[in-house]
Amino acid sequence: MSEIQADLVVRNGFVITMNDARECLERGAVAILGNKIVAVGTDRDIAGTVKAKRAIDAQGGVIHPGFVDTHVHFMNTVRGAVPDSADTSIMMNTFRRWWDSVEEEDERAATLLNCIEMLSNGTTCFLEAGTLQFPDLAAEAAAETGIRGLIGDPFLWDVPTPAGTHAMTRAPRDRNRSLKLLGGQLKRNKGEPLIRGCVVLFGLGSASDELMQAAKELSDSHQVIFSQHQSFDTHDGSADEHRLGKRAMCHYADHDLVGENCTFSHMNDLTADEAEIVRQAGMSVVWCPVTSMNLGAGAAKHARHLEMLRAGVNVSLASDGAVSGCRYDIGLQGLVGLLSSRAKSENKLAFSAEDVLELATRGGAQAVGMLDQIGSIEPGKYADLVIRTTDLPEAQPITDPIQALVYSCGSKSIATVIVNGEIAWSGGQPARVEAAMIYDLARSSRRRMWAKLSLAPEGKWPLLV
């Protein structure tokens, strides 16, 4: 066999390839040239066939494809701004005021902080949820950290805000404004950019058929995904039904507004008929188990993610926002999804550790329209992978590496994260940006935003200073 040239070989690891056969290599290696994987095999085979400029010894730790977080809001600087005792309406009103007030430096701080938090948790690709005020600036900041991602245009909506809630002054619900901005981020999709554009509406009943149709057509013609929030709780389901005269997914199917390139987030409140429409459309469902449980959306009891998954629907995992989803940590989302599925079905066999990896890697890759490029460790795909350590109490003794990863280690075992062939996280630090500088920016932004919005800590217990 002729010699394969590589820039980097990651060797001596338990490789979970997530290829079509879901092969694992007990003592395997991955060779990388430029931004792509060029060879995967046993350590011995790769040593005999690959000539690499440098090597990383995984020391027996797990090597797996990077996680894909398919619904994130870049606003982790908002942590603490919403009292834990506040209900969801107060939370949403704080977000509205936050989104109406952030300036470029705030969004840069939040994006940098978000991206390094995701990298630290093994996420190598994200899908932003359409709530950036300065998407160009955010795309630049995200790329600085070395993460891969997709972003859309901000706050596209045109159905008037229901009485009793507040409109965002910066982004009025206006069809002309939304149609003008729609597709603006698709300009990124030339060559092989780390940050790509896709079509994103805010959703949750805030788009007319006309706006949804424009979004769907644009995503079809540009071969990108169309994403939006959908059916978070029973209130959304009934509001859509009242407005449309029938359940939302039934209405969308009637009007050709759903298809394989549609990736809708939450989808907690669906009828059996709607779940069947989702299956028939071949679309992706983004599951945010921590958000739905944390906000008391009743999803753990009523949602059909498990049923849709078993019916063949592509399901992915997402962290959503800092207040609702707690952490930008797909491993946590997967474990909570597993636990809630078992609790709901009263069946331990309902959801497995392998399912968590499926949703976090291939499921996410398909949901962002990139399964042919990411989501598994195979030659020809982008070199987006996570290397884990075994030097951890939770990782010992090594028996089943997949169970150890999902149940006991979580993000603690993440040692190195490679995106696009480059190390983006290593030894507890981001590799391409300085964490201390980002923390400074985040603290400054927090001070500015709290002063601007007259926020104060809740302080349930006496604080001695």
Which residues form the interface with Zn ion (CB under 5 A)?
129, 320
- We find the least distance from the C-beta atom of residue 188 to Zn ion, in angstroms, to be 21
Token pair recorded at residue 455: 């926020």
Q: Which is nearer to Zn ion, 274 or 320 (CB)?
A: 320
Q: How far apart are CA 377 and CA 359, in angstroms?
A: 15
- We find the least distance from the C-beta atom of residue 127 to Zn ion, in angstroms, to be 11
Q: Which is nearer to Zn ion, 144 or 240 (CB)?
A: 240
- We find the least distance from the C-beta atom of residue 131 to Zn ion, in angstroms, to be 7
Give CA 314 to chain center in angstroms: 14
CB atoms within 10 A of CB 155: 22
Q: Which is nearer to Zn ion, 74 or 134 (CB)?
A: 74
Amino acid letter, 104: E
- We find the least distance from the C-beta atom of residue 399 to Zn ion, in angstroms, to be 38
Q: How far apart are CA 382 and CA 354, in angstroms?
A: 22
Alpha helices in 346-434 (DSSP H): 353-358, 364-367, 401-403
Residues 248, 205: contact at Cβ < 8 Å?
yes
- We find the least distance from the C-beta atom of residue 129 to Zn ion, in angstroms, to be 4
Q: Which is nearer to Zn ion, 129 or 297 (CB)?
A: 129
**Facing residues of 422 across strands?**
419
- We find the least distance from the C-beta atom of residue 202 to Zn ion, in angstroms, to be 9
The packing angle between helices 435-452 and 104-120, to 10°, is 130
Q: Which is nearer to Zn ion, 129 or 335 (CB)?
A: 129
Q: Which is nearer to Zn ion, 320 or 329 (CB)?
A: 320
Alpha helices in 223-298 (DSSP H): 234-244, 248-254, 272-281, 289-294
Q: Which is nearer to Zn ion, 117 or 320 (CB)?
A: 320
- Sign of torsion over alpha carbons 40, 44, 46, 52: positive
Q: Which helix (H) or strand (E) holds 115?
A: helix 104-120
- We find the least distance from the C-beta atom of residue 329 to Zn ion, in angstroms, to be 16
- We find the least distance from the C-beta atom of residue 136 to Zn ion, in angstroms, to be 21
Q: Which is nearer to Zn ion, 230 or 390 (CB)?
A: 230
Residue nearest to Zn ion (CB): 129
If you write DSSP's letter for every residue of 300-357 in order, what string do you get? HHH--HHHHHHTT-EEEE--B-TTTSSSS-HHHHHHHHHHHHHHHHT-GGGS-HHHHH
Q: How far apart are CA 423 and CA 385, in angstroms?
A: 9
For 412-445, b/e burial (b = at least 16 CB within 10 A) is ebbbbbbbbbbbbbbeeebbbbeeeebeebbeeb
Q: How far apart are CA 7 and CA 415, in angstroms?
A: 20
Q: Which is nearer to Zn ion, 368 or 418 (CB)?
A: 368
Q: Which residues contact 247 (CB under 8 A, 6 or more apart)?
A: 237, 240, 241, 270, 271, 273, 274
Q: Using DSSP bridges, classify how beta strands 148-151 and 195-197 pair: parallel, antiparallel or unpaired.
A: parallel
Q: Which is nearer to Zn ion, 41 or 149 (CB)?
A: 149
Q: Which is nearer to Zn ion, 332 or 424 (CB)?
A: 332
For 115, 187, 227, 342, the CA distances from 196, given in Å and listed in that order, are 15, 8, 14, 36
Q: Which helix (H) or strand (E) holds 92?
A: helix 88-101
- We find the least distance from the C-beta atom of residue 326 to Zn ion, in angstroms, to be 14
